[in-house]
Amino acid sequence: MPADPRRPVHEWRPDEPPPLGQRNALLRLTAAIRQTIDLVMDTDAPENEIDAAAAALEAWNERLAAQPRGRPLRGYAEASTAGNVRSVRDNSAVTGALNPIAPPMTFRIFDDYVTGEGVVGIPYEGPPGHIHGGVTAMIFDELLGLAQSLTAQSGMTGTLTVRYRRPTPLGQPLEFRGVVDRVEGRKIFTSATLHANGVLCAESEAVFITVAKDTFSRLAEQTGRPLLPER
């Protein structure tokens, strides 16, 4: 059964990490699911083995579905909304440690720039043997959102431009690097590059618009998912 997009949110604790024991277990589960996704994309197993794997996964899904749902939403959905480069972003679709569909990227923060490194596999394929351009843009958006957080302001993407210089290969070490170029009032101008094995594959520029921190709490309330009192 698909997850209910209106699932109850017991609490939103953006600056509080989840309990260590539970988080470690979720990290393990997330890693296992990522491996499953990789295997599903590449397996040439016979029908009976695929059916057996599906049955095992269906059984575990039923077991998890019977457990309590709606754990507190801790952390931010993306780097740009945090205004804090050290914020927890476990749920991020791009860098979330607890999000099994997030590309396997590691972001690092320095005094005046940020980097993203990783090896992206076939779940993110576009042209044969190369990364989908939309995935590249998504990573740029998150990286530059993290870069703009170096200004200690929270914001949202106003514009994002990507120039694709050449196809970005799958299975090769990637290095993204992002910086803040300048700040003009509420606008934060950023730029980034993507190299694969030292070869320039893409460049990006983004403008972020700073917003009040309580904007994101209001957005959470408007999703139709009720904010329930603490358990």
Average pLDDT of the segment spanning 3-25: 60
- In this predicted structure, the answer to whether residue 102 has a pLDDT above a threshold of 70 is yes
% of the chain at pLDDT higher than 70:
76
210 and 155 Cβ atoms separated by less than 8 Å:
yes
Kindly report the number of other CB atoms within 10 A of residue 66's CB atom: 8
How many whole angstroms separate alpha carbon 217 and alpha carbon 228? 14
227 assigned to some structural domain: no
- 199: domain CATH number is 3.10.129.10
139 and 105 Cβ atoms separated by less than 8 Å:
yes
Query: Across-strand partners of 13?
Result: 74
Average pLDDT of the segment spanning 166-186: 96
How many whole angstroms separate alpha carbon 75 and alpha carbon 79? 10
Strands 73-74 and 12-13: parallel
Residue recorded with tokens 């972001």: 107
Average pLDDT of the segment spanning 12-18: 54
Q: Could you list the residue range(s) of the whole structural domain that residue 121 is in? A: 12-220
pLDDT score, position 153: 82
Residue recorded with tokens 């576009």: 126
Q: Which residue has the higher pLDDT, 82 or 110?
A: 110
Which of 65-69, 132-136, 219-223 is predicted with the least confidence, judged by mean pLDDT? 219-223
Domain total in the chain: 1
Per the structure block, which two tokens stand in for 227? 């904010």
Which of 196, 204, 138 is closest to 167 using CA atoms? 196
**Radius of gyration over alpha carbons of the chain, in Å?**
19
110 assigned to some structural domain: yes
165 assigned to some structural domain: yes
Which of 49-63, 81-95, 153-167 is predicted with the least confidence, judged by mean pLDDT? 81-95
Q: Which amino acid is at 228?
A: L
Q: Alpha helices of the chain — where are they, by DSSP H?
A: 20-42, 47-65, 133-148, 214-221
121 assigned to some structural domain: yes
pLDDT score, position 168: 98
57 assigned to some structural domain: yes
Phi and psi torsions of 110, nearest 5° = -120, 180
Can you say whether the dihedral through the CA atoms of 10, 14, 19, 24 is positive or negative? positive
**3-class secondary-structure state, position 108:** strand
pLDDT score, position 144: 95
Average pLDDT of the segment spanning 178-207: 97
Cα 86–chain centre separation? 15
Per the structure block, which two tokens stand in for 211? 């917003």
Query: Across-strand partners of 182?
Result: 189
By CB neighbour count within 10 A (0-12 exposed, 13-18 middle, 19+ buried), where does 126 fall?
middle
- In this predicted structure, the answer to whether residue 174 has a pLDDT above a threshold of 70 is yes
26 assigned to some structural domain: yes
231 assigned to some structural domain: no
pLDDT-based confidence at residue 166 (cuts at 50, 70, 90): very high
Q: Tens of pLDDT along 54-91? A: 999 999 999 999 998 877 666 555 554 544 445 557 88
133 and 164 Cβ atoms separated by less than 8 Å:
yes
Average pLDDT of the segment spanning 33-47: 96
7 assigned to some structural domain: no
% of the chain at pLDDT higher than 90:
59
